Structure formats: C-alpha cells, structure tokens
Amino acid sequence: MRGGTENISGIVGLAKAFELANERMEQRRQHISALRQYFIEQLREQLEDIQFNGDYDGDSLYTVLSVSFPQSPKSVLLLLNLDIMGISASGGSACSSGAETGSHVLAAIGANPERKTIRFSFSHHNTVEEIDQVIAKLKTVVTTKQLVS
C-alpha cells in the first residue's frame, strides 16, 4: 500500500469490531461486574484482614479490583508466588507498576503503604471457576509457611 492510501479493509474491520463490541457491551459489563462482586465476597469469607482500595463498591472501574493484604514476611513475595502459581495480577497501582517507591494514587485514596497491594483484572472471558481457583491459590499463598523466598 502506498503512503497516503486509506486502508479501507482495515477501516471496515475496525468499524465491524466496534459494532460487535457495542452489541455485547452491557451483557459483558454485567458478567464482569458479577465476577468482581463474587471475588470480593469470596475474599471476605475466606481470608482475614483483607482491605479493598478506592470506592470498590461504588463509583469505580468494574474491570479492576485493588486489594491490600496484611503485612507479613510472606506479603513481600505475594505477587511472585501468585505468578508462579499461574495467577496473573499486578502490584500497586497501574501508574506506578514496577516502581520501587509507593504509589501516589494509592496514597491519594488512603491505602495503607505498609500493606501489599495487588490489582486483579477481570474480563468477559473469565469464569466463576477461575475466581474459585484464584481464591484457593490465594489462601495457599497467604496461609502456607513454605513459599518461594
């Protein structure tokens, strides 16, 4: 394709992708919101001293949940252990991933800097069974004495 030539097939494909995404958006939002709420309920029931950051049950992004775990020798390696167990999650806040210093976003919403914060993301591809697996693995990581160190 020459420079300056419109990519008509790409434009049509993008328009179709938008159309399909828009058709299913509300159904997907409801599914993702239900999964996130189920995850919150399971964390509360099965793990002690869990805190949620931000307005998690109000005006917040339904695809992400920021969870703070109690400080312990294991919490430093919590994210690494989850990764080894096949759980994809992120540490801190999105705008400070990988940073050695604390997140200004977490500080602004009042998160305790002494606690380990993990961000879990949800998609329309996720299932309740996957949430149950994550909860089971989190329980193992948080309660087991022998973990990667």
Alpha-carbon distance 105 to 119, whole Å?
A: 13
Alpha-carbon distance 32 to 26, whole Å?
A: 10
The closest alpha carbon to 122, from 52, 26, 28, 43, belongs to 28
SS3 category, 37: helix
Active site residue 29: no
With 0-12 CB in 10 A as exposed, 13-18 as middle and 19+ as buried, what is 49?
A: exposed
Which is the catalytic residue, given 94, 95, 108, 136? 95
SS3 category, 20: helix
Alpha-carbon distance 55 to 106, whole Å?
A: 12
**Mind telling me the catalytic residues?**
95
